[in-house]
Amino acid sequence: MRLPRVGLGCMRLSTEPRSESDGVAVIHAALEAGVRLFDTATAYCAVDALGENERLLAKALALHRLGSEAVIVTKGGLRRPGGGWRPDGRAKSILEDAERSAEALGRVPDVFLLHAPDPSVPWATSIRALGVVLERGLAKTIGLSNVTVGQLDEALALAPITAVQQGLSIFDDRARLSGVLARCLERRLAVMAHTPLGGPKRIARLGTSAVLGELAKVKAVSPAVIALAAVLDLDELVCVIPGARRPETIADAARAESVTFDADERARLRETFSALGPPSTVEATGAGSRSEVVLLMGIQGSGKSRLVDEYVANGFVRFNRDLLGGTLKDTALAMSRALASGTSHVVLDNTYTTRASRATVIEAAKKQGAKVRGLWLDVPLHEAQVNVINRMLEAHGRLLGPDELKKQKDNTGLTPLSHFRTVRELESPVRDEGFDWLETRPFVRTVKDGDAGRFVAFECAETVSGSDVPTFVFAWTETERAAVEAAAARLGAQALICPHGGGPPSCWCRPPLPGLLLEACHRAKLAPTKCTVVGTTETHQMLAATIGATFVSGS
């Protein structure tokens, strides 16, 4: 599928304060400049006013003589609670959004995209709902936005996907490194590059690039136009959708479609900006190579720190972003320099849980002729949580509170939300990423020595009798502190209370997160596997299972 090469990203016409007439003026300027592609979404609105941007676009197009020529791409499956952004990939929500979009636009869109994967909904459920959107005639074609190559492959097997929208600019090579761009071009899908100028934090770099500046003079255009044209030059299926806020900005951007590069200009751009390079190589390294790069991969708390010590003891040179500073790309560059200088055995041990993050290392290693060995530490989330908390307890002797976690700069300051985010973004490694060897190692917990103990949920403390083993009554702040302490006193126990407020978890001590119980075990020298958890709810059962304790019903 091919779309018009330059489009207008309409989001900021509704998500930022401005009059309706200003938005209409930008859309009309786009049409006058030859732009025919318009990108919108049901979630592009100020706060909870779903469909606002679509209605603005429909009105502007209806008022212009060229409006009927517009190709409209819209997106569903995202909500704006309180001005935030929350995926909603339920089938019901996707269908409701498709119906809402058709009504707001006054016509069915040319392309209806799933705005973002929802980690709380099975991916196949959301994709099948997209298929229903097509079957019901609520869109001419369907597509995806912000996906991994694994999600794209699964979707292609379930529905007739025709377009994919991803972040892509001369400053952003995630689409290339993740394999998504290559897969789209291989399957001949339209690629819509959102944030094609790098976004607010990077756009200032356009004016400082010597390459862009020199080419801009030669072509008699702005550096921004050169940056857009360079992305378009990747393939005829690629289009760009800059989010212009002023008429003159979109008029300038529209000129990118007419800019072409000769071989020397193209080579210079691709040498300067890695995002314009070819997909990462996946060929195995020659048998004669003496250099080896070991990539330890897994979510935080999977045991990489312990394993990397073994490699270092065997002569491997360690490269770790937390120790070196900078970005993962900086770490890969430092590794590459070391290999070029004669270092033969290297180990890296950051999370590397996405294909894009791994590609940077693999690509750099291959350029230096090194073999790449991948070791995937496959650990269940609850086991990783225990490891993260134990690491914090060993370093600080206690749990850190939410404010302390924010200030902590090392791996003992990980927050629950950061941990959950890593799991959501997780892409298990596969051999064809360029590994010469790839091993998956299952997690096995080492049983700790210690005494037995008992943890009693406050909800059932009144039904429990005293005991000779160390006992703790645990609760969250929704329960009165005095009542919890009184229940603990009756049992000759200690009170364990999470004092932090509601909302997304900001601490490790709110049940079913196991921080409260593990902190008590650490201080009282208890072995979690020798402990019991007395409770009444599924949460209490989950808590017992997480730390390896025995659950006892208190009802």
Query: What pLDDT score does 282 carry?
Result: 47
- What was the pLDDT predicted at 511? 83
Note the pLDDT of residue 447.
Answer: 78
Chain centre to alpha carbon of residue 531: 37
Chain CA centroid to CA 223, Å: 30
Res. 519: pLDDT tops 50? yes
- Please say whether the beta carbons of 59 and 23 come within 8 A: no
Residue 72: closest CA among 52, 55, 57, 51: 57
Q: Which of 129, 236, 250, 145 is nearest to 188 (CA)?
A: 236
* The pLDDT value given to residue 364: 92
| CA pair distance 234, 275, nearest whole angstrom | 10
Domains annotated on the chain, with CATH: 7-198+236-245 (3.20.20.100), 292-442 (3.40.50.300), 454-553 (3.40.50.1000)
Average pLDDT over residues 99-127: 96
Q: What is the mean pLDDT of the chain?
A: 93
State CA 237 to chain mean position distance.
25
| Average pLDDT of the residues in 406-430 | 89
Secondary structure letter of residue 60 according to DSSP: H
Alpha helices in 425-553 (DSSP H): 481-490, 515-524, 538-547
Confidence check: pLDDT of 438 > 80: yes
Q: How confident is the model at residue 446 (pLDDT cuts 50, 70, 90)?
A: confident
Beta strand 7-9 with 371-378 is unpaired
- Tell me the pLDDT tens digit for each residue of 358-408: 999 999 999 999 999 999 999 999 999 999 999 999 999 999 999 999 888
Crossing angle of the two packed helices 328-340 and 355-367, in degrees rounded to 10: 20
318: exposed, middle or buried (C-beta count within 10 Å: 0-12, 13-18, 19+)?
middle
Give residue 501's pLDDT: 79
Mean pLDDT of 148-154: 94
Alpha-carbon gap, residue 36 to 443, rounded angstroms: 53
Confidence label for 281 from pLDDT (cuts 50, 70 and 90): very low
| pLDDT bucket at 480, cuts 50 / 70 / 90 | confident
pLDDT of residue 410: 83
The identity of residue 147, as a single letter, is V
pLDDT bucket at 194, cuts 50 / 70 / 90: very high
Confidence of residue 107 (pLDDT cuts 50, 70, 90): very high
Structure-token pair, residue 528: 């979690």
What angle (nearest 5°) sits at the alpha carbon of residue 148, between those of residues 142 and 150?
Answer: 90
Confidence band, pLDDT 50/70/90 cuts, at residue 503: confident
The whole-number average pLDDT for the span 169-184 is: 93
Query: What's the pLDDT at 81?
Result: 84
List, in order, residues 6 or more apart from 210 with CB less than 8 Å away.
Answer: none
| Cα 454 from Cα 549, distance rounded (Å) | 9
Model confidence at 260: pLDDT above 70:
yes
pLDDT exceeds cutoff 90 at 467: no
| CA–CA distance, 72 with 86 (Å, rounded to integer) | 23
Q: How much is the average pLDDT of 10-16?
A: 92
Q: Which of 396, 414, 408 is nearest to 508 (CA)?
A: 414
Q: Are 50 and 42 in contact (CB under 8 A)?
A: yes
SS3 label, residue 275: helix
The confidence score (pLDDT) of residue 538 equals 92
% of the chain exceeding 90 in pLDDT: 81
Q: Cα–Cα distance between 541 and 256 in angstroms, integer?
A: 59
Supply φ then ψ for residue 374, to 5 degrees.
Answer: -100, 135
Mean pLDDT of 444-456: 89
pLDDT at 92: 97
| Residue 4's pLDDT band (cuts 50, 70, 90) | very high
Residue-level pLDDT at 373 = 95
Would you put residue 5 in left (φ > 0), alpha (ψ -120 to 50) or beta? alpha
Nearest partner of 152 among 110, 195, 191, 198, judged by Cα: 191
